[in-house]
Chain A
């Protein structure tokens, strides 16, 4: 009897150990390529069967920044990101308001169409975009690349902001009117603060999407609008692995910073602005 119990307990602990091991393995599996790249970006003379690089150096970063023209590329990426965020957020606010506050006929169908660019394969979509942009001469302009990004950022913004507007309490808006606020004041003092968390969330998501966007950029960029992901990809073709790795790491840093920001700031309860007693 006791033997059986001990056996069962052993089994249970065994499961736990196994599960834990699997989790750790998975993390390593996910992180391994990145660690590899990170190591390579600071290693020197790392050839053959060596486990670790024999020498560490920051040289590759210097090279990457100089040869890869990173400041210029970073500037492009940011300009494009800011334009894409601005346009998507404006679209998101208006469309989200329409979706969230109004009884639209055929609402579901409209929403499906809005989400379509996210559903069809990016390359398919990108080809179409490129074709149109060539005729409009939007290729290799910051605005052009940003607009291409909008096609994937805007659906996100619309989705997030529709939910935000839907969560707005009609009675609170009524209260503002009865208190004497006209439409403009009501918007600035009540509506805007209440949807601000949603706007911030949608801006963050839009920015990360634009920042990481590759396929759409590849088909619309030009010499003046190289972005970080594209530059990194081009560096692969040049064959200098160390430099490419350094670029890849540089590219990750802002993403991590944004992730940290989201984790710190975007508390779920802040996103809904709910209140007790209803």
Chain B
């Protein structure tokens, strides 16, 4: 038995004039919760629909549990899915909605009732069995959708932005509930979202998509700590970018000149002086020090332009050297005011090779 539960192999789907999925290759392991993350319109739902079989990819294969299902009809793929817009059956009560997959599978009535009861308890909707979808709030409908997807214990659960219609508090609650349920039942889950916080909090691995392509695949830490492109870095969290040229390479470190500053950073493979690179620092990875701090490696003078109080942190906009604007988030206990001169220490700088124009 192989380790892969879901496999996209070079899946391509074109719509008139645009490629919604562009040679998408992705493997989701058994029991894993993978998040598909990307901006609106990048082809996440399209990928899920290729997997459910409601649309046919123009090219590529899709494997479920080692079996090629590209030509298999939707109803034979044995998937559970929570839809972006609930898609409950409006003419059925909550009980019948949740019981639908069981009824289709000709489960006996008593067995069905117990399973439905179980599923409703799981999503904490026991009291609503006789309600119709239109009588429920958005969050409750969403949970009915989850119960319907889980009720026949599918091996694979797909969730298409299942929390997008909920308020912030409920979203947070449901996030952990879903994670808990999926882990407890040992389901392989593919979770689609465009909310990066959700993706980081939930997933075993995150797949970042952009314009129908896979940009990066990795654990939440990998994605956050070592983004492989400017797109990923920008999409996951705030970032500062600086363009520069390599001045010298000395073993594992190199010196980059950017906006008149000499910045030390771990060197890149096959990099030579003169190469163009893009430097990247997270706002919470910069330390703000008093102006009197002695000069050192990666310590630069700057001036505070604007401050914003965010509760536990302060958000600073600083001007560095020759007109480079930086964003820094630091502890709110020690504050600097606008106009104040400070020194910034960059303990950690990452870089990528940039294209030469």
Contacts and interface: CB of A to CB of B under 8 A. Distances in A.
Interface of A: 169, 171-172, 174-182, 185-186, 189-190, 193-194, 273-278
Contacts of A276: 133-134, 136, 138, 141
A194 B75 contact: no
A193 B141 contact: no
Contacts of B253: none
A278 B86 CA distance: 8
A73 B91 CA distance: 40
A135 B81 CA distance: 59
Q: Closest 6 interchain pairs by CB?
A: A175-B87, A177-B74, A275-B90, A171-B87, A179-B101, A275-B134
Nearest to A171: B87
A172 B90 contact: yes
Contacts of B141: 276-277
B79 interface: yes
A181 B136 CA distance: 25
Given A174-B54, A273-B90, A274-B134, A179 B148 contact: yes
A277 B152 CA distance: 25
A180 B103 CA distance: 10
A169 B91 CA distance: 12
Given A185-B104, A189-B100, A277-B141, A178 B81 contact: yes
B224 interface: no
Interface string B74-93: 11111111010111111100
Contact of B81 (A175, A186, A274): A175
A179 B152 CA distance: 9
B267 interface: no
B75 A180 contact: yes
A194 B78 contact: no
A181 B76 CA distance: 8
A94 B136 CA distance: 34
Nearest to A181: B104
A174 B90 contact: no
Contacts of A171: 83, 85, 87
Given A276-B134, A277-B141, A177 B90 contact: no
B334 interface: no
Nearest to B52: A178
Contacts of A186: 75
Given A175-B81, A177-B74, A177-B75, A275 B101 contact: no
Contacts of A176: 89, 100
A37 B195 CA distance: 72
Nearest to A190: B89
B213 to A, nearest CB: 25
Contacts of B132: 275
A217 B120 CA distance: 58
Interface in B43-99: 49, 52-54, 73-81, 83, 85-91
